[in-house]
Amino acid sequence: MLDWSDIILRLGVAALVGGAIGLNRDLHGKPVGVRTLGLVSLATAMIVVLADPLGKGGFTDAGSRVIQGVLTGVGFLGAGVIFHAERHFRVRGLTSAACVWLTACVGIMCGAGHWRIVTVSVVIAFVVLLLGGRIERALHRVLGGKGDPTAIPMDAPQSSDAGPHQPGK
């Protein structure tokens, strides 16, 4: 059985790291933030501590089924932050949905006490979140892509709006 200090450490780190990822989303005006992602990570850590009460980080078949169920359920929560702009056939919120899923995975790792995996994954996640957009835009310019898809205003007309291939036409 885990002692109080280990439980507090596992659940506290999960909530803090999830909240830090949420802070990034919140600062970018996205639909999930500190509280949402902090709670996702805390909740998944709680379930893992329950599934692995000895705190060894090795899971039985039952424990792995618990984790599988959590990740499937969290996928539905992530889907809630994805929306489709009907008029312009654009999908938004995919990065925020990925962050919901990531914080669930971080919570699982915190609950299992895999601190090295937590540390490396969070560092990589913040590199991707902080630099990924800039790198993506630069690559679009260099490689001749369609440019930055996020630079187009939601209400800007698009040439494909009048095409016969559009739904309802």
Q: How confident is the model over 1-6, as a mean pLDDT?
A: 84
pTM of the model as a whole: 0.67
Give 14's pLDDT tier (boundaries 50, 70, 90).
very high
How far is it, in rounded angstroms, from Cα 102 to Cα 127? 14
Cβ burial 104-113 (10 Å sphere, 16+ → b, else e)? bbbbbbbbbb
Alpha carbons within 13 angstroms on the beta-carbon side of residue 153 total 3
Q: What does the domain layout of the chain look like in residue ranges?
A: 4-118
How far is it, in rounded angstroms, from Cα 17 to Cα 32? 14
Tokens in use for 149?
Answer: 């898809």
Handedness of CA 110, 112, 113, 118 (dihedral sign): negative
Tokens in use for 41?
Answer: 């990570």
Choose among 26, 24, 22, 64: nearest CA to 47. 64
Give residue-wise pLDDT tens across range 41-79. Answer: 988 888 888 777 666 666 677 778 888 888 888 887 778
In this predicted structure, what is the pLDDT of residue 159? 42
Q: Length of the chain, please?
A: 169
Classify residue 48 as exposed, middle or buried by CB count within 10 Å of its CB (0-12, 13-18, 19+): buried
Q: Centre a 10 Å sphere on the Cβ of residue 82 and count the other Cβ atoms it contains.
A: 16
